[in-house]
Amino acid sequence: MPAPVPAAPDTSLVRRARKVNRVLAETYPDATIELDFDDPFQLLVVTVLSAQTTDRRVNAVRPVLFQAYPDARAMASAPREDLERIIGPLGFFRAKTESLLKLSAALVADHNGEVPARLDDLVKLPGVGRKTGNVVLGNGFGVPGITVDTHFGRLVRRLGWTEETDPVKAEHAIGALFPKRDWTMLSHHLIWHGRRVCHAKKPACGACTVARWCPSYGAGPTDPEEAAKLVKTQGPA
């Protein structure tokens, strides 16, 4: 029997979600990925390195890392101790060094040293899941993708767009609410809002530009002055 066709999302939910995205686009007109990179290989590497640390710390080690190892072939043959020394400030440096060596070797062996531009190929690389793959596609190749990180997942549940906690199911549920062309920027808008206003423990509800469409309004301070003190002007240090 053919697989059942998923039910179309509720029209009112689609309208509300798209309105929120439009307002967030106005709130964060400069929203973009907060990792620095010059090409898809750099983007792939810094995204892998960003796990369990901040984008700012990754950006700080990036110049030294890629000056020494500018491409997959160079990195695949890098002495392990040199990589560990460079990325040491990021924490978990032994595991991350192992990831970079395996990832670079796979790029050389399977893709002639180039980063593939298809999600199916990206997720077959060591240490690369759908989240990382979509980051690379959307920001490195201009291929629309939804990045379900912790901020994105938290916000789509608070906004009532989905109850899914599984990242893949959440990705598909949210993708059904928006045209594909909007997916990458939608990810940036929600991630920026999560880092600056809609915090995990104490969201700044009283300073939120999309509060009127949020069923979770009141999870944090609603007083404008109190909420304003919680707002961060940039991503995490």
Tell me whether residue 71 is one of the annotated catalytic residues: no
CA distance 93 to 119: 26
Tell me whether residue 232 is one of the annotated catalytic residues: no
The structure tokens listed for 197 are: 């206003």
Cβ atoms of residues 196 and 235 within 8 Å? yes
Phi, psi at 131, each rounded to 5°: -60, -50
CA distance 234 to 183: 22
3-state DSSP of 45-79: HHHHHCCCCCHHHHHHHHHHHHHHCCCHHHHHCCC
- Residue among 131, 166, 223, 229 flagged as catalytic: 131
The structure tokens listed for 118 are: 């298809």
- Residue among 55, 96, 149, 182 flagged as catalytic: 149
**H helices, E strands: number in the chain:** 12, 0
Catalytic positions: 131, 149
